[in-house]
Amino acid sequence: MSDLLGYRNQNVVVTGAASGMGLAASNLLIDLGAKVWALDIAAIDVPEAQAIQVDMKDPHAIDSALRELPETIDSLFNCAGVPSPPFSARDTVLINFCGLRYFTDALIDRIPDGGSILSIASTAGMAWKSKLDKVQEFLDLDNSFASAEQWMNANPEACADGYGFSKQCIIVYTMRNAKPLAAKGIRINCVSPSPTDSGFMAKLKGEGNMPDEAIDLFLPSNGRYASGTDMAEPMVLLNSRLAGFVSGVNLPIDYGYCAEVFVGQRDNLLGIS
């Protein structure tokens, strides 16, 4: 098979690789010939990948993981993330965004011209325009965890919805970095999935006590949860050579859910703008 997507023999890093979208992406990338470094706090079962355990809310653990990665990273997939509940708003922001930013910023100098970065946001973060002032204020901080925690303590209302705020930050971080990374020949994009059948969803429903009917409000009109593979395939495409002139994009992968909101075909429960 020809290397149409351009992953053969490329060094690829995937966080959140133990389950869900990260696991599906890791397996697909290996099938495409990539050399995959798979990171997660949980046990990782990805044949042929280099597995590294890391807690994304701990900068020291991230620093340790960074030392295990190769000097050249061709493609980065930021898939690690947790729901809130059951995780606190604080820990959700630290894991979903602060760890992502700290990790990504540390790897940028290792990514060559032609490299790519993709992060998982969410339809729950697509109200970012109405929250832009506070999101920008948070992003203007340095990327230290101490600065983030100090800001969250001073602005509890802004990040009370830890999950939504963390995903808004990912979207705006992606857009803000498109310009400086373009000067280096590096692309950066994010995706906003609709509800997906995954370990994340199981934790949200189980430990988070989120009822099915509350989540079902956000299903697309095909009436089903996405699978990890439904999300991984467009993610792998977006970070590939075939999308080589696409950057700064937040792509909804939601079978038209956001489109229905935009044209008034369903209630805008998430404040999408």
Q: What is the pLDDT along the chain (273 residues), one digit of tens a residue?
A: 579 999 999 999 999 999 999 999 999 999 999 999 999 999 999 999 999 999 999 999 999 999 999 999 999 999 999 998 899 999 999 999 999 999 999 999 999 999 999 999 999 999 999 999 999 999 999 999 999 999 999 999 999 999 999 999 999 999 999 999 999 999 999 999 998 887 787 777 787 777 888 888 889 999 999 999 999 999 999 999 999 999 999 999 999 999 999 999 999 998 888
What is the pLDDT, as a whole number, of residue 208? 75
Identify the structural domains of the chain with CATH numbers, from first to last. Answer: 11-262 (3.40.50.720)
Predicted structure pTM score: 0.95
For CA atoms 32, 175, 115, 46, the dihedral sign is negative
Predicted local distance difference test score (pLDDT) of residue 253: 96
- The Cα 239–Cα 234 span in angstroms is 9
* Model pLDDT, residue 206: 80
Q: What is the pLDDT of residue 109?
A: 98
pLDDT at position 63? 98
